[in-house]
Amino acid sequence: MAEPTLRVLYEDNHCIAVAKPAGIPTTHFQGREETLDRQVKAYLKERYAKPGNVFLGIVHRLDKAVSGVVLFAKTSKGASRLAEQFRQGSVEKVYWAVVEGVFEPSVGTLEDWLRKDEARRRVVISPPHSAGARQAVLHFQRRGCHDGLTWLEIRPQTGRTHQIRVQLAHRGHPIYGDARYGSIHTFDGSIALHARSLTFLHPIRYEPVTLTAEPPEAWRRFRKLGIRVPP
């Protein structure tokens, strides 16, 4: 199978952003599995005929099953400054999710405490301030509803592992295709969670930059919710 074409959303001397397909890990640890960072390094090496290793700073990640905007740094200074913005929570992140059921109310905030359950390899809701638990806050707005599914726009205030997936599933509305957290549907080996946009301060110019990624082709099945996927 041919490798998917890398979709570059933004690039300058200090950073590069691409549209991550669902089903590919953001970064590699061991092994030869194809990953997004390896694709970006190969692109930079070829485009600029760089000898030796190519520097690429990892400043945030998306789950393997999630699509959307991923930002990398091309310099160590850029990596340090961008990573600090993510740590401080000053990067504005917007996600689109399609969940099972009719989500009520139409707008609001979800607040929970999450803990990693290593034995079950998942994240669970815990009592506030319990050992190992961290606070998770997100804001949501309902964008569409049809045939037992709801399209939500989500703005996470915190960046916890599996936060959106767990907080929605806990309320009886798992993300479409997310079998780990209770979905009864399948979605081409991925889940209907898409990192729609990122807004951050440029690491050198300190000007706000907003980057947007269109949802993948598979999202065409949700057109009756009002979601449009460009050709």
| Residues with a known catalytic role | 63
SS3 category, 224: helix
d(C-alpha 15, C-alpha 11), whole Å: 6
The answer to whether 167 and 136 are in contact (CB under 8 A) is yes
For residue 57, list its beta bridge partners: 73
Bridge-partner residues for 141, per DSSP? Answer: 107, 153
Enter the tokens of residue 219: 């999202």
Nearest to 206 by CA among 78, 74, 87: 78
What does the block give as tokens for 86?
Answer: 């993510």
